[in-house]
């Protein structure tokens, strides 16, 4: 279920994207368990941010119902469109997760806004049309600042969900005053759940199906801002 790609593979991917006339986020797709597709989306989005600006790149690649946090959850596209250009921003994926059907993925890694270090998590999904073509768009963008920059791992880590078994979907209710939403890949082998609390702290949990049970991919914890 797990695969590890060498850092040289990432370098080749970056070089390949640099030679292309622009990021390709749409078109006919033959779906398979290929996490490099999600990696390429993330890299292409980053390249678009260098060509334009970070907010423009995020707005252009967002799904119509995409969400981001500022720190409260907001509809991403109108919020991003209203922001002044944000230059000197770049990010690098460290881990990639993909659903069994190859149509949903999650990237997480390090991001840099000027001199400020942070991390990010992006949920990607393919929106398919009846003729088989479609668009890759992101559904959720999440992240926060960090005091110490997250160094890139020696090996980029990728994980694909198992196609065995029947994933059970656990239901839970938010606490009083808490906002919560659970998202699932269409084949229900990859899930993400965010919680936003009245004190402006939030949590994002990403889980992946291993054929017998759900296992935690990672958890993003964001503390309430000081002086809230």
Structure tokens at 157: 């880590």
Q: Each residue of 45-94: pLDDT tens digit?
A: 999 999 999 999 999 999 999 999 999 999 999 999 999 999 999 999 99
Q: Each residue of 174-191: pLDDT tens digit?
A: 889 999 999 999 999 999
Q: How far is Cα 197 from Cα 28, in angstroms, rounded to an integer?
A: 40
CATH T-level assignment (fold) for domain 2-162: Nuclear Transport Factor 2; Chain: A, (3.10.450)
Within 13 A of 131's CA, how many CA atoms are on the CB side? 6
Q: Which residue has the tokens 């993925």?
A: 105
Residue spans of the domains in the chain: they are: 2-162
User: What pTM value is reported for the model?
Assistant: 0.85
């Amino acid at each position: 279920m797990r695969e590890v790609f060498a850092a040289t593979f990432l370098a080749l991917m970056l070089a390949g994207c640099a030679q292309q006339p622009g990021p390709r986020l749409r078109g006919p797709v033959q779906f398979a368990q290929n996490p490099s597709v999600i990696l390429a989306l993330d890299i292409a989005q980053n390249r678009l941010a260098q060509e334009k600006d970070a907010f423009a790149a995020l707005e252009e690649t967002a799904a119509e119902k995409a969400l981001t946090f500022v720190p409260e959850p907001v509809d991403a596209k109108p919020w991003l469109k209203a922001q002044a250009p944000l230059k000197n921003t770049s990010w690098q994926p460290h881990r990639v997760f993909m659903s069994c059907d190859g149509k949903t993925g999650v990237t997480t890694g390090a991001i840099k806004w000027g001199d400020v270090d942070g991390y990010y998590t992006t949920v990607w999904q393919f929106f398919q049309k009846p003729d088989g073509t479609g668009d890759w768009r992101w559904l959720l963008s999440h992240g926060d600042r960090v005091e110490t920059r997250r160094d890139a791992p020696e090996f980029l880590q990728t994980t694909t969900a198992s196609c065995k078994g029947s994933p059970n979907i656990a239901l839970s209710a938010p606490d009083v005053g808490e906002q919560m939403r659970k998202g699932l890949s269409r084949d229900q082998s990859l899930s993400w759940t965010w919680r936003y609390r009245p004190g402006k702290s939030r949590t994002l949990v990403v889980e992946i199906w291993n054929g017998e049970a759900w296992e935690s991919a990672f958890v993003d914890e964001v503390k309430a801002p000081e002086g809230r």
